[in-house]
Structure 1
């Protein structure tokens, strides 16, 4: 099964869309435990570290941790699915926090055997995944109170956006195309894209299979999506929107007639971090508008 798109982070203007009103939370962690050396595996977890004001503990991140800008300057341990024990241990961390997508497992076992605390959050493309990430970072950094305050505000944002989505009767058929490299693929069930489509009040046009499969003319015709979704990185990889629409298989879709395409930065769309409420709200608003 192909991997989900590797998150790459947007420009500062998108930082904490929908969460810009969050108060400074680091003061709430005054009673935290003594600072630790932490490696974060996954952009969403790194983002939480910064939100909790614990960035001074951060001694390394994986290559998907590119936001906020300060995260670009952190030592990188490689892609979170292709780690090495040597790379992790060279940073002398006290704790490594990641998701169950991190690995290989044997590498994480080696890190544990070296006496390093390894905390892995279950990745299942739900709101609870976001909550688990906030809680895990709060515990590892000793900023539990700050994490609870952050989570309360994020929960309020999530409830608000879900209420807005529930109030919309129309459920357009949407299809996500993964085209970061190699041949384009379409997202079936069990993917982050499938979850985002459903959260945003649309219907995934692909329900016949789980994971990702190649984009074919037959798949496009049978799926009949009203709107197509892609990431900014995916569109760039295909040569831009004009080149995207020149793909012959897309001409078989209802979306082609309207050139109905929603493009969002990959990590904002699929990162399942603190900006998830903002991503769902934006996707809902844009899919509804473009298919009206």
Structure 2
């Protein structure tokens, strides 16, 4: 008993040091993916984020956090200048060479795989939670998402939806199979009108008329760059589609629509309502 009483203070000190060291290890985080940033904030690490990429637009507090560039062309220097304890991202954007630079200077680097599905969202949440030693919080967040999902009303009929990416009339692309847009449209119970190819391809009048979507879906910034619905209708082929004739053009925030993060149910609910409306 005396031996235990003598050992107890040392054990308590060790536990305290472990907690402190864990907190310090998570003190300065840089996220290079908008979805990962949302997950980190949802798990309670908002204040530890000292740097994010430009796709990290949510929550609004991220506007005040240092930006290190777009995740498709990140370089090591601006990230390392923030002296991070942890860099976390997904495997589909940041180059392996840059990731190796982080590791070579001793910065803990976590690279995760993202899958565009509801199950993939929970897997990503759990991976981030595990990396930050808060597995229980990750599990609770996933359970809440599954509960919220049950409240989404199905479409009355499966409509054909075409997503158009635009940066003015000079840059217009449509989303085919195996894209995050295709996955989200399908999850909403609709049909991707562009189903004959994978990834993105330039928009053509012929393909647009052949696809004949019931609904055209765009990012809010994309439609704005076109001068609104009237500007979009001036693009060759748009006015000949069912969506064009009925002016059925819907918009959503880009990160919300394509993030597949903690707001996926919110995105799905909004998309379903707009397609139906």
TM-score interval w.r.t. the shorter chain?
0.7 to 0.9
Relative to the length of structure 2, the TM-score reads 0.86
> Secondary structure in 2 aligned to 1:60?
strand
- Tell me what 1:64 maps to: 55
Point out where structure 1 has 5 or more consecutive residues left out of the alignment: 1-29
Which runs of structure 2 are paired with 1:235-250 in the superposition (5 Å)? 235-250=223-238
> Secondary structure in 2 aligned to 1:197?
helix
Shift of 1:106: 0.9
Q: 1:224 to 1:115 in 2, by over 3 A?
A: same
Q: Is the 8 A contact 2:53 2:70 kept in 1?
A: yes
Q: 1:31 to 1:254 in 2, by over 3 A?
A: farther
> Secondary structure in 1 aligned to 2:189?
coil
Q: 1:114 to 1:220 in 2, by over 3 A?
A: same
Tell me if 1:34 matches 2:34: no
Shift of 1:129: 2.7
- Tell me what 2:121 maps to: 130
1:95-118 deviations in Å (ceiling 9; x for gaps):
111112231221111112222222
Q: Is the 8 A contact 2:156 2:276 kept in 1?
A: no
How well do the aligned residues superpose, as a CA RMSD in angstroms?
1.9
Aligned length: 256
Shift of 1:148: 1.8
Q: 1:32 to 1:205 in 2, by over 3 A?
A: farther
Which structure has more RCO (C-alpha within 8 Å, separation ≥ 6)? 1
> Secondary structure in 2 aligned to 1:72?
helix
Tell me if 1:177 matches 2:164: yes
Q: 1:96 to 1:233 in 2, by over 3 A?
A: same
Looking at structure 2, the residues matched to 120 and 159 of structure 1 have their Cα atoms a distance apart, in angstroms, of 31
Q: Is the 8 A contact 1:125 1:192 kept in 2?
A: yes
Which runs of structure 2 are paired with 1:43-54 in the superposition (5 Å)? 43-54=34-45
**129-138 or 274-283, larger mean C-alpha shift:** 129-138
Looking at structure 1, the residues matched to 72 and 272 of structure 2 have their Cα atoms a distance apart, in angstroms, of 30
Tell me if 1:199 matches 2:187: yes
Q: Which of 134, 142, 146 is matched with 1:143 structurally?
A: 134
Q: Which structure would you say has the larger Rg?
A: 2
Q: Which of 161, 171, 175 is matched with 1:187 structurally?
A: 175
Shift of 1:32: 10
Q: 1:92 to 1:288 in 2, by over 3 A?
A: same
Which runs of structure 2 are paired with 1:1-292 in the superposition (5 Å)? 33-35=22-24, 36=26, 37-161=28-152, 164-165=153-154, 168=155, 170-180=157-167, 182-289=170-277
> Secondary structure in 2 aligned to 1:33?
helix
> Secondary structure in 1 aligned to 2:269?
helix
Shift of 1:215: 1.0
- Tell me what 1:10 maps to: none
> Secondary structure in 1 aligned to 2:256?
helix
Point out where structure 2 has 5 or more consecutive residues left out of the alignment: 1-18
